[in-house]
């Protein structure tokens, strides 16, 4: 069943307008009486089309429920900026696996070093990737792709989370040694192709962020977030 996202809805007056409305009528060729799902703030509304025009679709909500695809934890991925278009793939897979926010970070060893203003120009495209992945995977929200942060800005954010982990190839505690039992708001940090500077890892550890080791195999920066979020979802009963 097609899925569409609205930031806020009134259950007895659900309207889809703009590009999504045109997609429903022109691309999907849907008609009155057909069913679709509207997602808003983690809740799924199962709706029947009551009227349709080229620019607006009116819907009747028949039932609603919390989205079963949303995990019980809020995972924010802090990703050191990789080269080329790897970030697009990281965003797509992280959203599919359950991340609620993806934050690109500029660290000391990042090979790619975009300017903040130039990076901001890419955000609409990156957010579209997140939206498409959310629709495909049945998510109840569209995860946010944040603007570019400095290492210090990211460190300050991560230190406020209930549980924050930095995955470091030079060693640390094992994943199953991190106390996750009661944590709901979780941050994970993944480095770029150049790895993480030891001073940055030490700064994170001193800020109360767990340095976590994934074993002897060195994972690519686009592989590590997939592995980390998958393991995290498994350990917390969300997979």
Mean predicted confidence (pLDDT) in 141-168: 95
Whether residue 33 is found in the same domain as residue 104? no
**pLDDT at residue number 182:** 86
Mean predicted confidence (pLDDT) in 28-50: 92
Percent of the chain whose predicted confidence (pLDDT) is above 70: 100
Whether residue 98 is found in the same domain as residue 177? yes
Whether residue 58 is found in the same domain as residue 78? no
Whether residue 60 is found in the same domain as residue 139? no
Whether residue 112 is found in the same domain as residue 189? yes
**pLDDT at residue number 215:** 85
Q: Convert the pLDDT of each residue in 212-229 to its tens digit.
A: 988 888 899 999 999 999
**pLDDT at residue number 92:** 97
Question: Residues 83, 112: contact at Cβ < 8 Å?
Answer: yes
Percent of the chain whose predicted confidence (pLDDT) is above 90: 69
**pLDDT at residue number 22:** 93
Q: Convert the pLDDT of each residue in 113-143 to its tens digit.
A: 888 888 999 999 999 999 999 999 999 999 9
Domain that holds residue 35: 3-66
Final residue before a domain boundary, out of 11, 39, 66: 66
Final residue before a domain boundary, out of 32, 66, 100: 66
**pLDDT at residue number 134:** 94
Whether residue 59 is found in the same domain as residue 95? no
Whether residue 52 is found in the same domain as residue 128? no
Whether residue 127 is found in the same domain as residue 22? no
Residue/partner pairs of 179-183 with CB below 8 Å, 24 or more apart:
180/232, 180/235, 180/236, 183/73
pLDDT of 11 strictly over 90: no
Whether residue 190 is found in the same domain as residue 124? yes
pLDDT of 171 strictly over 80: no
The total domain count for the chain is 2
Q: Convert the pLDDT of each residue in 72-97 to its tens digit.
A: 999 999 999 999 889 999 999 999 99
Higher pLDDT, 233 or 169: 233
Q: Residue 222 belongs to a domain with what CATH number?
A: 3.40.1280.10
Whether residue 127 is found in the same domain as residue 204? yes
Final residue before a domain boundary, out of 20, 42, 66: 66
Q: Residue 19 belongs to a domain with what CATH number?
A: 2.40.240.20
Whether residue 96 is found in the same domain as residue 46? no
Whether residue 10 is found in the same domain as residue 40? yes
- Name which of 22-31, 109-118, 149-158, 203-212 the model is least confident about: 109-118
């Amino acid at each position: 069943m097609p899925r569409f996202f609205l930031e806020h809805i009134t259950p007895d007056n659900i309207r889809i307008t703009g590009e999504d409305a045109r997609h429903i009528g022109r691309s999907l060729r849907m008609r009155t009486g057909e069913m679709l799902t509207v997602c808003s703030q983690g809740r799924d509304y199962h709706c029947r089309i009551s009227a349709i025009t080229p620019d607006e679709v009116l819907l009747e909500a028949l039932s609603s429920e919390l989205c079963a695809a949303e995990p019980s934890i809020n995972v924010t991925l802090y990703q050191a900026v990789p080269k080329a278009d790897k970030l697009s793939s990281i965003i797509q897979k992280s959203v599919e696996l359950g991340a609620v926010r993806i934050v690109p970070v500029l660290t000391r060893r990042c090979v790619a070093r975009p300017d903040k203003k130039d990076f901001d120009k890419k955000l609409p495209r990156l957010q579209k990737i997140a939206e498409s992945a959310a629709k495909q995977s049945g998510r109840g929200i569209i995860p946010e792709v944040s603007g570019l942060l400095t290492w210090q800005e990211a460190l300050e954010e991560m230190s406020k989370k209930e549980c924050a982990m930095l995955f470091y190839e030079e060693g640390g505690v094992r994943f199953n040694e991190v106390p996750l039992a009661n944590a709901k708001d979780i941050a994970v940090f993944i480095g770029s192709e150049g790895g993480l500077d030891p001073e940055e890892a030490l700064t994170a550890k001193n800020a109360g962020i767990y340095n976590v080791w994934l074993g002897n195999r060195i994972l690519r920066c686009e592989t590590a977030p997939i592995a980390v979020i998958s393991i995290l979802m498994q350990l917390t009963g969300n997979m």
